[in-house]
Amino acid sequence: MASVGGDAKKSLTQWLREKGFDEEAIGRMSKRCRNLPNLDAGEASGVWDYLLNDVKIEQRKLRYVVTKCPKVLTMSVNDKLVPTVQCLTTLQAKPGEIAQAIVKFPPILFHSVEEKLCPLLAFFQTLAISEKQLAKLLMVNPRLISYSIQAKFSQTVDFLVGLGINREVMIGKILTKEPYIMGYSIDKRLRPTAEFLKSAVGLQGSYLQRVIMNFPSILSRDVDKTLRPNLVFLQSAGFSKDQIMKLVAGYPPVLKQMNSRCSLSEMLDCNQKKFAMKFGLIPVA
């Protein structure tokens, strides 16, 4: 049990200083985790050593994890950390990948991974995503573990199906290609972007489906910040709406005369300056 005496507080503070945390960082961490000042340095040291030596998180990155999520120091190594890491390992995730996932999303350690994984695996199997692919998805975007199947995953899948994407064949491929798509709001990002592609760009039916299947991250692009400015830029360069629609849909290489091999879908992913440079409309500095 953690001690609450003054010596314990001093001991923990001193221990944090020895690990490279300055007074400002320690103050912020104490505000984020109210139980931190009452934690015994020995308990914190056990967590630190496990993540450093067993999980193989680099010391510099471990400081980042603890600064961002100091609650991790209060966790039980044997009762919580070890089972969580072992559960991730059973998904064929390598130690280095687990370390990277924790650094990306430290709260992955707080979720009941075992209870979450079985329902997640069952759900993703309906989309033809294997256990190994699920492990890859979690390692790339560990935040997925925090999402609700009903409130998040199912609704996103239904949205894609509504665009004409085949559930059993293509949705799994889209998610493995772009695992971050699950994190975006349907109403605030995915649907407005899809509507923009249909109305402003002219993509309909199989054209829209082909773009989404080949370049799914386009759905996560902000219409006003990225897509609309680039569309206006193309229009000002003399492209007609029909030409732009065909280019975005993946017709033959753009601007053969400029030796460009990039599809317009890829170019729409750029900000306007990079877009113009990549498209060959202004010289590269």
Read off the pLDDT band of 120 (50, 70, 90).
Answer: confident
Read off the pLDDT band of 102 (50, 70, 90).
Answer: very high
**Per-residue pLDDT, 241:** 86
Question: What is the rounded average pLDDT of the residues 92-104?
Answer: 86
Quote the DSSP letter at residue 179. G
Q: Identify the residue with better confidence: 283 or 245.
A: 245
At 202, the amino acid letter reads G
Q: Is the Cα torsion angle 274, 246, 179, 95 positive or negative in sign?
A: negative
Read off the pLDDT band of 180 (50, 70, 90).
Answer: very high
Closest CA to 84 of 2, 149, 145: 145
Which of the residue ranges 89-103, 178-192, 223-237, 238-252 would you say has the lowest mean pLDDT?
238-252
Closest CA to 33 of 78, 65, 60, 1: 65
For residue 252, pLDDT beyond 50? no
Question: What is the rounded average pLDDT of the residues 265-279?
Answer: 60
Distance (Å, whole) CA 70 – CA 32: 7
For residue 284, pLDDT beyond 80? no
Q: Is the Cα torsion angle 210, 215, 219, 225 positive or negative in sign?
A: negative
Question: What is the rounded average pLDDT of the residues 257-280?
Answer: 57
For residue 5, pLDDT beyond 50? no
Question: What is the rounded average pLDDT of the residues 2-21?
Answer: 69
pTM, two decimals, is 0.77
Distance (Å, whole) CA 71 – CA 75: 7
Which of the residue ranges 36-50, 91-105, 162-176 would you say has the lowest mean pLDDT?
91-105
Quote the DSSP letter at residue 217. G
For residue 115, pLDDT beyond 90? no
Closest CA to 63 of 113, 98, 28, 93: 28
Read off the pLDDT band of 281 (50, 70, 90).
Answer: low
- What are residue 7's phi and psi, to 5 degrees? -65, -35
At 176, the amino acid letter reads T
Give yes or no for a contact between 266 and 226, defined as CB atoms under 8 angstroms apart. Answer: no
| Token pair belonging to 11 | 């001991």
Q: Identify the residue with better confidence: 284 or 227.
A: 227
Sequence-ordered list of residues with C-beta below 8 angstroms from that of 173, at least 6 positions apart, any chain? 213
